[in-house]
Amino acid sequence: MTLDSQQKELIGRAALEALLIKNGFEVARAHRDKGIDLIVFLDEPSRPFVSRPIQLKASSGTRFGLDRKYARMTGLVMAYAWNIQDMPRFFLMNYGEAEDLIPAEAKRTSSWDKGGYSWPKAPETIKLKLERDYENRWNWLRTELEKDWRDEIG
């Protein structure tokens, strides 16, 4: 079955929400998509409220890319969902980490100049790096939120 982009986004978001909850996070949805698809937070009444915005890129394959407009969003978590129709896989990173995956030669293209770069099917080198360093980074995400607690408390 072929899915349109909205269906992919809905399936990817539902799967990501379920995994976030399973890993002890709370999740809220943004009602309008202005670069934030979800908001993840920890519900600890004795601590200050901290959250992070998530931008989800869902694919039925292994699409990977980055839009430069997300650079302006402080604390944004980039979440990439692959193979959403079969066995979904999730890769979590901040914007800087995602940008570091885009090779220098790609950043010299008109596509990057116009706002971003994307591969419909991630090259093997990118796949390997994502699998090794960014897959299922739930502990990383928790640490990022807990850092915000430390910053908030002083």
pLDDT reported for residue 153: 62
Listed in order, strand segments (DSSP E) in 16-131 are 26-29, 38-41, 51-58, 64-67, 77-82, 89-94, 116-119
pTM of the model: 0.93
pLDDT reported for residue 48: 86
Question: Residue 92, by phi and psi: left (phi above 0), alpha (psi -120 to 50) or beta?
Answer: beta
Distance (Å, rounded) from C-alpha 130 to C-alpha 146? Answer: 24
Provide the residue range defining the domain that includes 148: 5-153
How many domains is the chain built from? 1
Distance (Å, rounded) from C-alpha 17 to C-alpha 88? Answer: 12
Question: Residue 83, by phi and psi: left (phi above 0), alpha (psi -120 to 50) or beta?
Answer: left
- pLDDT by residue (tens digit) across 96-141? 999 999 999 999 999 999 999 999 999 999 999 999 999 999 999 9
- pLDDT by residue (tens digit) across 49-84? 899 999 999 999 999 999 999 999 999 999 999 999
- CATH assignment of the domain containing 88: 3.40.1350.10
